[in-house]
Amino acid sequence: MSQSTLTNMKRVVQATLDGLNAWDLETIVAVRSQDFHFQVLPTSLGQTPKNMKEYRELWDTLLTPTFQQFKITPLNEIYDVGQKKATVYTTIEIVTAVGPFNYEMIQIYTLSGDGEKLTRLEEFFDSKVYLEVAATFGGGPQAK
Question: pLDDT tens, 46-80?
Answer: 889 999 999 999 999 989 998 899 999 999 999 99
Give the residue with greater pLDDT, 118 vs 44: 118
The answer to whether residue 139 scores a pLDDT higher than 60 is: no
The answer to whether residue 142 scores a pLDDT higher than 50 is: no
pLDDT value at position 98? 85
Give the number of other Cβ atoms within 10 Å of residue 12's Cβ: 21
Q: Tell me the per-residue pLDDT of 74-119, one tens digit each, with 9 for 90 and over.
A: 999 999 999 999 999 999 999 988 889 899 999 999 999 999 999 9
135, 46, 20, 68 alpha-carbon torsion, rounded to 10°: -10
Domains, the chain, ordered by start: 2-138 (3.10.450.50)
Evaluate the CA torsion angle 105, 61, 22, 85 in order and state its sign: positive
The angle formed by the CA atoms of residues 141, 27 and 84, to the nearest 5 degrees, is 80
Q: Is 24 helix (H, G, I), strand (E, B) or coil?
A: coil
Residue 35: pLDDT band with limits 50, 70, 90: very high
The answer to whether residue 144 scores a pLDDT higher than 80 is: no
Q: If you count DSSP H runs as helices and E runs as strands, how many of each does the chain have, helices first?
A: 5, 6
Run of H or E residues at 23: none
pLDDT value at position 90? 98
pLDDT value at position 130? 75
Helices (H), 1-144: 2-22, 25-29, 52-58, 64-66, 127-135
* β-pairing verdict for 118-125 and 50-51: unpaired
Q: What type of residue is 72?
A: I
Q: Distance between CA atoms of 130 and 134, rounded to whole angstroms?
A: 6
pTM of the model: 0.89
